[in-house]
Amino acid sequence: MKPNATTAMEQLIEEVRFTIPFELPVSDLCSGICNGCSKKLIDFLDIEIGDWEQRLQQGEKPGLGDIEKLAKTSRKIYRVLQKNKLV
């Protein structure tokens, strides 16, 4: 059975919070190889996720497009972090 859109978004947010190293100090984010600003990308993703967490708490129901957009953004940021050897 497929989860509803709200549950799917919550699961995606949980997975992203577990996978992306939001807690890394700036000194680790900005040292060595840089194929995109890891700090700015992580900050951007943190804001996007925080926005969706707040919207879900207020009872907003995401659409499938919203889930796909957040998933796509998260995958792209993860790939940059991989290139920068942070994950």
Q: Is residue 29 part of a domain?
A: no
Other Cβ atoms closer than 10 A to 9? 25
Is position 7 within any domain? Answer: yes
Please list, in sequence order, all residues whose beta carbon lies within 8 angstroms of the beta carbon of residue 41, skipping any fewer than 6 positions away: 77, 80, 81
How far is residue 37's CA from residue 8's CA, in Å, rounded to a whole number?
A: 29
Q: Is residue 70 part of a domain?
A: yes
CA angle 13, 17, 18 (to 5 degrees): 120
Residue 20 lies in a domain: no
The answer to whether position 25 is within a domain reads no
Distance CA 50, CA 4 (A): 20
As for how many domains the chain has, the answer is: 1
Reported pTM: 0.88
Q: What is the pLDDT of residues 9-61, one digit of tens each?
A: 999 999 999 999 998 887 777 776 677 788 899 999 999 999 999 999 999 99
Find the domain containing 58 and state its range.
Answer: 1-14+34-87
